[in-house]
Amino acid sequence: MIHYKSKEEIELMRESAQIVSKTLGVLAAEVKPGVTPLQLDAIAETCIRDHGAVPGFLGLYDFPNTLCMSLNEQVVHGIPGDKPLQEGDVISIDCGALKNGFYGDHAYTFEVGEVAPEVKQLLKVTKECLDLGIAQVKKGNRIGDVSFAIQQHAEKHGYGVVRELVGHGLGKKMHESPEVPNFGKRGRGPLIKDGLVIAIEPMINLGTKDVRQLSDGWTIITGDKKPSAHFEHDVAVVDGKADVLSTFDYIEEALKKVGV
């Protein structure tokens, strides 16, 4: 069952989403060689709590940390560790916050120093996939239109589109209906209408679409151990069109300041 939100509820969700956006903006200035994921995790928890929210992932389904941090061939759900980041790594940081009873949840894949050109291109195309998916969020379209736009753009570049993990509805629960796959057919799936709030999150692999789970019970990696990218926004439907509740502006401002 899809829980449609009122405009007032959407504004509460925007506040939660913006806390995540600001937290990712703080982290953007800290992602560099020598820093450990656990250090970044601690910074994120402090930032979320300083904004009057609680970490959305900490304890959710018994997840042990504030951030899901997925390095290189890790697709999603990586557990922060104490091994320092290295030049050339990429790290996907997925962050959630809960405030006023509603969740914010979005993600960004960061470059650590200078990365290989083919990996930089993967990140660029995955971010474009997110934008193209959001462009299909309009009254009268269906979830399949979002899915098709993402899949077509990724596969046009020869990338693998993960099937086992999908975007989702968002609200008082972190994961609500409907599922938002990154693959599909136009005109299929639930109808998009006012009050729908979804997290759109392309998970795109440099090589195969196949993935597997590590023995920690959380971390998902690519089947061929090639890098993966993950970008995510929270999107509401207001007055028939997409209203993006989260933003990458804080991240981009921080990266400009550090010269990235």
226 phi/psi in degrees, rounded to 5: -85, 160
Length of the chain: 260
Please report, in range form, the residues annotated as the binding site. 77, 94, 105, 168, 175, 201, 232
Residues β-bridged to residue 213: 220
Binding residues for a divalent metal cation: 94, 105, 168, 201, 232
Q: Which residues are annotated as a binding site for substrate?
A: 77, 175
